[in-house]
Structure 1
Amino acid sequence: MKKVAVDLHFLPCLEFFSAIIQAEEILISPSELYQRQSYLNRTRIRLANKIETLSVPIQGRRPRVPLSRVKIDYSQNWQKIHLRGIQSAYGKAPFYEFYFPYLEPIYLKEHASLWDLNYEMLTICLKLLKYSGKVTVCKNLDEEEFDLDLRGQISPSGTFLERNLYEPVPYTQLFGLDFEPNLSVIDILFCTGPEAKKLLLRSIKI
């Protein structure tokens, strides 16, 4: 698989990465429209007693406008809430001290738009996963050629079981006896470190 077009999610889930990890090129665009009730501004982590959704608040109701025009609401204390949640969830994880310093500075910045935040988060996550392909920012994805179009496919509505992208491969998580699949990519990074990419490659549904 050479080129894959995707939505620019916030700290994407494992289904997202299993779908793109073998691609030679990932295509994204700031002109793609914001969708409510999507992964564009939320991700899921595992706390001691529950699965927690971390959401990035945005300004206004935000009808369908380009992601680059969606402004983050910095009047809310969401950055500290996220950082505190991540520390609570993964502070004792084997690779927390190694990977957290890459994420914290991104959280502490005020990004011009949701697009800018998500792009920086995706870039660092791909670096930590040792992704060997490239990311291309396109003006209009509808004018590009690609092998797989994943836009609009990976969403909180429905489950990964209904799609044909991700087959969970269990790894050791911090809390609970049962494996919780398809959390944020930071779950697999903090828990498995350098093994994360191998696990994602094994998670590709064929």
Structure 2
Amino acid sequence: MRVVILQPMYLPWIGYFGLIDIADVFVFYDDVQFVGSSWQQRNRIKISNGNWIWLTVPVMKKFGQKINEVKINNNKNWAKKHWKSIFYAYTRAPYFKDYSDVFEKFYKRRWEYIVDLNVTIIKEICKLLGLDSTKFIFSSQLNVEGKKTDRLINILNKIGADEYISGPGAKAYIEPEKFKKAGIKLYWFEFNHPVYPQLYGEFIPYLSIIDLLFNMGDRSLEVIREGEKNALKRDPRT
């Protein structure tokens, strides 16, 4: 069984969905410490002048809070502003009308916790992409202890995984020898960001997935899978 463990992010980039695509089980790592001004609460879109801007969900963060404990600051009119920014950025995109109702509804609903907003959006985007074979679970539901690599392995053992896929950013702290000892193969997912037709000048990579959806429509998964080609690299130490 192939497993990915990743924090729930706001309007994630396309590589996030590449990981969902290749996983048998995708674990939302929701009971680790929340990091402010990170992908957990913000992402980027491209606007009509050819530049990009942040969309940031305001939160009421306390030091040491876990992701699933962080509440959204609804005293700020963030939802209306986000949808307005998305509308004006993509209203001329070829597939905006096909998906606009889906996304607009997220911004008409009042959300209390950032994790609920993020996970709901991610699951809905998976439906739009046709990613319906991956099973989703939450790390907070597994009652698994440990820190860093040990906790990852404990989660994998509890699920019954024999393969773990990680983004390359984790190379700095993951301990591959522990995976070998546990009998779990470790792979690095080095996504090759594809270029696709995009509004307003030169192509900008690493934007939110909505940029791909509004520009490519039902071909979006095809683009993601182009980036998945040769992305998996087995760690030779496992």
State the TM-score bracket (shorter-chain normalisation).
0.7 to 0.9
Q: CA RMSD in A?
A: 2.1
Checking the alignment, whether the CA contact within 8 Å between 1:4 and 1:150 is kept in structure 2 is yes
Q: Which moved more, 1:78-87 or 1:139-148?
A: 139-148
SS of 2:40's partner is helix
Deviation at 1:152, TM superposition (A): 9.7
Pairing partner for 1:186 from 201, 210, 219: 210
Number of aligned residue pairs: 196
Go from structure 1 to structure 2 and tell me whether the alpha carbon gap of 1:36 and 1:26 turns closer, same or farther (over 3 Å shift).
same
Would the aligned equivalents of 1:7 and 1:152 in 2 still touch at CA under 8 Å? no
> Are positions 1:59 and 2:83 aligned together?
no
**Displacement of 1:106:** 1.5
- In the alignment, the residues of structure 2 paired with residue 29 and residue 6 of structure 1 have an alpha-carbon distance, to the nearest angstrom, of 5
Secondary structure of 2:81's match? helix
Question: Which protein has the bigger helix share?
Answer: 2
Map residues 42-57 of structure 1 onto 2, 5 A cutoff: 42-49=42-49, 50-57=51-58
Q: How does 1:23-172 map to 2 (within 5 A)?
A: 23-49=23-49, 50-60=51-61, 62-131=62-131, 132-139=133-140, 140=142, 142=151, 143-145=154-156, 146=161, 147-148=163-164, 150=166, 153=169, 165-172=190-197
Q: Greater share of strand residues, 1 or 2?
A: 2
Q: Percent identity?
A: 26
Q: Given that residues 18 and 165 in structure 1 are in contact (C-alpha distance below 8 angstroms), is that contact kept between their aligned partners in structure 2?
A: no
Contact 2:20–2:134 (8 Å) recurs in 1: no
Residue 151 to residue 72, structure 1, CA distance change in 2 (3 Å): farther
**TM-score when normalising by structure 2:** 0.76
Whole-Å separation in 1 of the counterparts to 2:226 and 2:81: 33
The TM-score normalised by the length of structure 1 is: 0.87
Please state whether the residue corresponding to 2:136 is helix, strand or coil. Answer: strand
Q: Once the 2 structures are TM-superposed, how far is the Cα of residue 149 of structure 1 from its aligned partner?
A: 5.3
1:33-59 per-position Cα deviation (integer Å, ceiling 9, x unaligned): 211231000011000121011000001
Gaps of 5+ in 1: 155-162
CA separation in 2, counterparts of 1:164 and 1:24?
A: 15
- Counterparts of 1:185 and 1:27 in 2: how far apart (Å)? 19
Secondary structure of 1:43's counterpart equals strand
Structure 2 match to 1:174: 199
AA matched with 2:155: E
User: What's the CA shift string for 1:80-99, capped at 9, x where partnerless?
Assistant: 11001101111111111111
Cα distance in 1 for partners of 2:227, 2:165 equals: 19
Q: Using the TM superposition, name which of 17-26 and 69-78 deviates more.
A: 17-26
The higher relative CO (CA closer than 8 Å, separation ≥ 6) is in 1
1:74-121 C-alpha deviation (Å, 9 max, x unpaired): 111111110011011111111111111111112211122111111111
